[in-house]
Every structure is written in structure tokens, then in C-alpha cells.
């Protein structure tokens, strides 16, 4: 039983996912950072197999995946020989190219053959590769949700659809054409599981679209701390949380037109958890190359406790940014495939609430990770996915 995985974006998260996955398959890595490693699920991580990978960076497209990983993972991690011999394919730029040229030379299939044909070409590849699960790990883009299927189609004609929307649509077409359910896991902030139009399309294709924006690093920790304060009825006066990193994700976020979506998904936790909008500043704030992938996070929360006194919590940490999401991705893949097998359609809030910063469907609340974790376990038991 293999799970065939397609990946859009071959950046650091994607490369850590592939490297870690093949080390797990070889038995040379302990599954720390994989949340459900100790639970019995219908699929093991060793069932996951990467079959197709896309990017738009001229230095990556057309190159051997393993070579690109060796060249770009700049930490001391062994790169297994068992990584499949795949060439990275040329993806779509669509309406998402703004600012990318400040990071690398972007090249897109749509520049050559137009957006409509590029989507068709990717649909054909996803069908040919028989993908079960697709991971969206491209650079954060600025996206406006589509209003209707007609709106989506006219944006394709005008070449204005964002890259993630184009990939999600190509995946939907592949599922419809091949009559085979596919899970699209959106780890970036673009509203896809939060888009009524995309959720409906995926229902129609007997598939699932899960998202949005992988929850790692400081945001889930802040969510759990807020839950702790809420449960004790301590009144939060303010929250300050910032991140400074030195990877290309942070570089992309330092470009104003690419940063907007991230601010939106990070800030939704405050009101959803506390029930009031405590003043807050929660943003990825800066890029310093020398910090590398082990980002610096700082947090300051002040609250009113009993007898009107003021308490304060200050947290400083350094976190390996990309491996944190890569570890979650290992479980996200096998759980989303199990959800498909159980006949789930559209999107699955219980999955999203644990794995994502902005859980779809639209208007569903952001809950603390601790609550989301136990809710998901409960849900997986009910659906007979969790077997111990
Ligand atoms: N902990 C985390 O690292 C974390 C947490 C939550 C969300 N995310 C999101 O995951 C995504 C990936 O993060 P990363 O650290 O790997 O970033 P990265 O910059 O290392 O990688 C992004 C990759 O996407 C490629 N890309 C850009 N536009 C593309 C397109 N249109 N089609 C195909 N490929 C494209 C880039 O060339 C690059 O290789 C980012 O959007 C990030 O915000 C990361």
C-alpha cells in the first residue's frame, strides 16, 4: 500500500520532508517531530512515496531532486541515496510572481503555453503519476479568494489566478478525470480550505482540500498559552510575538506584497481563543540571512490576575523552522489518505484545526492546539482511522 505524493514547491520544508521521509523509510531516523508516530494508523510513513515535484526557480527546474536537496539543505543532515531519481518539473507562476525575482529567477510553464494549457499539462502529470496526496509548499503569495467557478474560469483566461489556486484546480481536474479521490494539503496561507468555491469543487470530485497554512513554531505555542490563560479567566492586556529568520521564506515575507496573507492567518488566534480581541502584534517581522533556518522567536504576554495584579510571561526561543512543518507533513499525508479512504469530502475541520493556522472551512474558529489535538484523536477514533 503506497501513498503517492506530489509536491508543489521544492524549498526547505519540501526538502526536509523528502529527506526525513526517506531516512524514516531506511530506518535511520527516529520519528521525533512526527506527532502521531506512536499511534496505529491505516498507513505507516514508510508507505509514503514522492512521485512528482514542481518549482519555478530556474536553478531547480529540470535538475535532479537529490542534487537540488544536497545543494540547498545547509544543515548537517545526511541525504539518503534512496531519494527517488526525479527531475523537478516546471510549475505555474500565474498571478503570483510579484517580488519573486528579488529571490531567484522565476520561470513558469504558463509563460510558455499560457495558464489554461499549463493547468492542463499539470493535470495530465498528476493523473499519470497517480497521485493520492498533493502538498502545497510554494512561497507565500498574495491571493484573493475566487467568488464562483465562473470567476475562477475567467481568471484562468486572463492569466490572473494565483499559483496555489491553479494547482488546486489542476488537482481537482485530475481527480474528476481519473475518478480517483485526491487530497490537496495546503500548508501556505492562501485561502483554499477557506474558500467555499474550492471546498464545493472538491466535494464534487469526491476529494478533500485541507488547510490553510501549516501551524508550527510560535503560533501554536501562543494559542496554547492563550488557552491556559482563558481557562483561568485571566484577562490578557496584550500579546507581542515576533519571528526573525534567515531562510528564503522570511526573505519572501520581507517583500510587502507577499507578507499580507501571513499576518491575517497568524492574528486570527487571539479573538477565536480569548473571545475578545486583546491588542496584539503577531507577525513575521524580519529577515537576517545569518540567522538561517533556526529562527529567533520572542513573545511577551501581559495579563490581569486575581486582585487586579499584573503578571507577565516572556519567551525567547530558537526553532528549526522548516523541519517543524516537514515533520507534521509526514503525518498529514498518511492521515489525509486515510480520510479519503473513509469517504471524506470537501474539507475536514478536525484535521485542519490541529495542522493549520487558519483552519477551513471559512468562519470556523481557531482553537488551541491542545484542544485540537484531542479533538482530532477523538475524530480519528470515531472514523475508525485510529486503531489504538
Ligand atoms: N515552519 C515553516 O517553515 C512553515 C510554517 C507554515 C507555513 N509555511 C509555508 O510553507 C511554504 C514553504 O516554506 P519554505 O520554508 O519551504 O519556503 P522556501 O522559500 O524555502 O520554498 C518555497 C519554494 O517554492 C518555490 N515556489 C515559489 N513559487 C512557486 C510556484 N508558483 N510554483 C512552484 N514553486 C514555487 C520556490 O522556488 C521555493 O523553492 C511557505 O509558503 C511558508 O510560508 C512554512
Q: Is domain 3-214+323-382 in CATH 3.40.50.1400, yes or no?
A: no
Residue 287 has pLDDT above 90, yes or no: yes
DSSP per-residue letters across 266-309: HHHHHHHHHSS---EEEEEEEE-GGGTTEEEEEEEEEEE-GGG-
HSE-CB at 271 with a 13 A cutoff on CA atoms is 10
Rounded mean pLDDT of the chain?
Answer: 94
Residue 265 has pLDDT above 60, yes or no: no
Q: Centre a 10 Å sphere on the Cβ of residue 159 and count the other Cβ atoms it contains.
A: 17
CA distance 379 to 372: 10
CA distance 21 to 333: 11
Largest CA distance in the chain: 68
38-67 average pLDDT score: 97
Q: Is 347 exposed, middle or buried (0-12, 13-18, 19+ CB in 10 A)?
A: buried
Residue of the nearest CA to atom 37 in ligand 1?
A: 57
In the chain, where the domains are located: 3-214+323-382, 218-319
List, in order, residues 6 or more apart from 155 with CB less than 8 Å away: 95, 146, 161, 165
Q: How confident is the model at residue 257 (pLDDT cuts 50, 70, 90)?
A: low
Ligand 1 atom nearest to 164, measured from its CA: 31
CA of 40 to the centre of ligand 1 (A): 30
The predicted pLDDT at position 285 comes to 83
240-262 average pLDDT score: 82
Q: How far is CA 371 from the centre of its chain?
A: 20
CA distance 57 to 91: 9
List, in order, residues 6 or more apart from 153 with CB less than 8 Å away: none
127-137 average pLDDT score: 98
216 lines ligand 1 (CB under 6 A): yes
What pLDDT, in 10s, does the model give residues 219-238? 899 999 999 999 999 999 99
CATH superfamily of 218-319: Dihydrodipicolinate Reductase; domain 2 (3.30.360.10)
Q: Centre a 10 Å sphere on the Cβ of residue 288 and count the other Cβ atoms it contains.
A: 13
The DSSP H or E segment spanning 215 is: none
Ligand 1 atom nearest to 322, measured from its CA: 3
List, in order, residues 6 or more apart from 69 with CB less than 8 Å away: 15, 18, 19, 79, 83
The predicted pLDDT at position 224 comes to 96
165-187 average pLDDT score: 98
Query: What 3-state class would DSSP assign to 224?
Result: helix
137 lines ligand 1 (CB under 6 A): yes
Amino acid at each position: 500500500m503506497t501513498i503517492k505524493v506530489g509536491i508543489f514547491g521544492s524549498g526547505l520544508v519540501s526538502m526536509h520532508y523528502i529527506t526525513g521521509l526517506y531516512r524514516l523509510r531506511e530506518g535511520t531516523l527516529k520519528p521525533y517531530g512526527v506527532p502521531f508516530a506512536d499511534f496505529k494508523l491505516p498507513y505507516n510513513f514508510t508507505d509514503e512515496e514522492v512521485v512528482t515535484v514542481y518549482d519555478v526557480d530556474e536553478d531547480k527546474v529540470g535538475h535532479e531532486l537529490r542534487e537540488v536537496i544536497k545543494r540547498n539543505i545547509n544543515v548537517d543532515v545526511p541525504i539518503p541515496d534512496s531519494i527517488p531519481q526525479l527531475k523537478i518539473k516546471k510549475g505555474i507562476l500565474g498571478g503570483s510572481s510579484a517580488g519573486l525575482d528579488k529571490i531567484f529567477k522565476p520561470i513558469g510553464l504558463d509563460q510558455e503555453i499560457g495558464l489554461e494549457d499549463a493547468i492542463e499539462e499539470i493535470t495530465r502529470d498528476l493523473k499519470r503519476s497517480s497521485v493520492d496526496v498533493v502538498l502545497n509548499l510554494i512561497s507565500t503569495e498574495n491571493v484573493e479568494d475566487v467568488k464562483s467557478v465562473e470567476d475562477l474560469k475567467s481568471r484562468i483566461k486572463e492569466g490572473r489566478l494565483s499559483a496555489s489556486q491553479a494547482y488546486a484546480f489542476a488537482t481537482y481536474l485530475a481527480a474528476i478525470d481519473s475518478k480517483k479521490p485526491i487530497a490537496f494539503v495546503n500548508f501556505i496561507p492562501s485561502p483554499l480550505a477557506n474558500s467555499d468555491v474550492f471546498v464545493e469543487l472538491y466535494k464534487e470530485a469526491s476529494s478533500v482540500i485541507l488547510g490553510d497554512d501549516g501551524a508550527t513554531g510560535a503560533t501554536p505555542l501562543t494559542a496554547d498559552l492563550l488557552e491556559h490563560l482563558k481557562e483561568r479567566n485571566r484577562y490578557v492586556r496584550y500579546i507581542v510575538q515576533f519571528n526573525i529568520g534567515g531562510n528564503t521564506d522570511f526573505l519572501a515575507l520581507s517583500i510587502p506584497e507577499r507578507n499580507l496573507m501571513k499576518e491575517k492567518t497568524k492574528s486570527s488566534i487571539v479573538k477565536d481563543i480569548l473571545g475578545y480581541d486583546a491588542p496584539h502584534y503577531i507577525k513575521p517581522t524580519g529577515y537576517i540571512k545569518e540567522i538561517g533556518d533556526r529562527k529567533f522567536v520572542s513573545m511577551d504576554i501581559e495579563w490581569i490576575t486575581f486582585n487586579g495584579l499584573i503578571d507577565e510571561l516572556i519567551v525567547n526561543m530558537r526553532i528549526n523552522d522548516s523541519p517543524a512543518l516537514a515533520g507534521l507533513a509526514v503525518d498529514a499525508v498518511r492521515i489525509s489518505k486515510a480520510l479519503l479512504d473513509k469517504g471524506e469530502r470537501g474539507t475536514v475541520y478536525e484535521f485542519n484545526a490541529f495542522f493549520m493556522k487558519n483552519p477551513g472551512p471559512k468562519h470556523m474558529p481557531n482553537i488551541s492546539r491542545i484542544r485540537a489535538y484531542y479533538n482530532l484523536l477523538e475524530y480519528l477514533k470515531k472514523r475508525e482511522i485510529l486503531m489504538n
